[in-house]
Amino acid sequence: MAPLRGITDCIYRTTFLRYFKGVDRVMAPFISSLSAANGTRRIKPAYLRDISPENNKNTELIPQILSNDPDDFLFTAQHIFNLGWPEINWNLGCPSPMVTRKKRGSGLLPHQGQICRVLDAVMARYPERISIKTRLGLDSAAELYRLLPILDQYPLTEIIIHPRLGCQMYKGRADLEAFQNCQPLTRHRLVYNGDITDQDSYSRISQHLPGVKRLMLGRGLIADPFLSTGLKAGGLCLKSDSDRDILKSFLDDLLQQYQGRLCGDSHILGRLKGIWRYLAVIFEDSDKVRKKITKTKKLNNYTEMVKSIFAETPFSS
């Protein structure tokens, strides 16, 4: 499961794993540290709560760091490893202009010297415990093509590539040719991530990239939580009535947990609407379903709306 900040928090992740199959490992959304004017650093308690072992039971979790500085990375990594997680992922993919402007996420990809400074420090302490999640570059795939051979000198666990440029955000298609071009440039294991939403996209991608054995699923999995089960079983089946019951129970469970964790209808609804933004496509007439959910202002309207959607709207075929 890919990290999706604002959606795949610990409640979503652990609940997902209780209701659906096929996901082996789960990556948490990025964490960064804050530094004060007096030079001290800290990590927001909410970030640490999200990756604490007690909030992530029965999960093979990989926490993720967003950073461009060796000391800052080591500070955050130390906190995470102290929690007992065996591996950390480094985010070199975030395309948000707020992030890239600060030379973080995909904004660091044109700055190889800085990437190496971070890795020199981090690998000396934590060999074989760091993976990288990256895009092709900020402005050009040449950035990753240049970087991959350099990364061969570092003992990384794997490299996950979402083959888009940072400047593209989510526009266009994932570039399978560019992913293919990356394969001979690295000794590291590559994981493919991007635009797997159904059996057809999975088949197209796996035919194009026969050497790739590991996949990361993001928006497609939020939209269809049965996707991982189907792909692992060798093909998606038509969803049954019991699948509708499973999905409904999953959503009820999420609601109950968010009510226990968050305060105020709008806060709780914000989380649920974030999920429905993607999940609506599992139903026929998904735009209408999405609008119905978006319009709800109170939790009791939301509950009624979900009930009526499940009673009246078939899954899309």
Ligand X SMILES: Cc1cc2nc3c(=O)[nH]c(=O)nc-3n(C[C@H](O)[C@H](O)[C@H](O)COP(=O)(O)O)c2cc1C
Give the binding site for ligand X (CB under 6 A): 2-7, 29-30, 64, 91, 93-94, 133, 162, 193-196, 217-220
Surface-to-core class of residue 275, CB atoms within 10 Å of its CB (0-12 exposed, 13-18 middle, 19+ buried):
buried
Pairing mode, strands 130-137 and 88-92: parallel
Question: How many Cβ atoms from other residues are within 10 Å of residue 222's Cβ?
Answer: 24
Q: How far is the CB of 304 from ligand X (least distance, A)?
A: 27
Using DSSP's 3-state secondary structure scheme, residue 33 falls into strand
Q: How far is the CB of 261 from ligand X (least distance, A)?
A: 19
Q: How far is the CB of 61 from ligand X (least distance, A)?
A: 13
Which is nearer to ligand X, 29 or 107 (by Cβ)?
Answer: 29
Which is nearer to ligand X, 143 or 195 (by Cβ)?
Answer: 195
Which is nearer to ligand X, 167 or 301 (by Cβ)?
Answer: 167
Instruction: Look up tokens 């900020």; give the residue.
Output: 138
Q: How far is the CB of 207 from ligand X (least distance, A)?
A: 18
Please give the structure tokens belonging to residue 34.
Answer: 């804050």
Which is nearer to ligand X, 159 or 217 (by Cβ)?
Answer: 217
- Nearest residue relative to ligand X (C-beta): 218
Please give the structure tokens belonging to residue 283.
Answer: 């139903």
Please give the structure tokens belonging to residue 232.
Answer: 């692992």
* Beta-carbon contacts of residue 247 (< 8 Å; ≥ 6 apart): 19, 225, 282
Q: How far is the CB of 177 from ligand X (least distance, A)?
A: 17
Question: How many Cβ atoms from other residues are within 10 Å of residue 45's Cβ?
Answer: 9
Could you tell me the end-to-end alpha-carbon distance of the chain, in angstroms, rounded to an integer? 24
Contact status, residue 226 vs residue 245, Cβ threshold 8 Å: no
Which is nearer to ligand X, 64 or 186 (by Cβ)?
Answer: 64
Which is nearer to ligand X, 9 or 268 (by Cβ)?
Answer: 9
Alpha-carbon dihedral sign for residues 302, 241, 256, 7: negative
Q: How far is the CB of 132 from ligand X (least distance, A)?
A: 10
* C-alpha to C-alpha distance for 310 and 89, rounded to whole angstroms: 38
Q: How far is the CB of 93 from ligand X (least distance, A)?
A: 5
Alpha-carbon dihedral sign for residues 162, 186, 212, 91: negative
Using DSSP's 3-state secondary structure scheme, residue 29 falls into strand
Q: How far is the CB of 89 from ligand X (least distance, A)?
A: 7
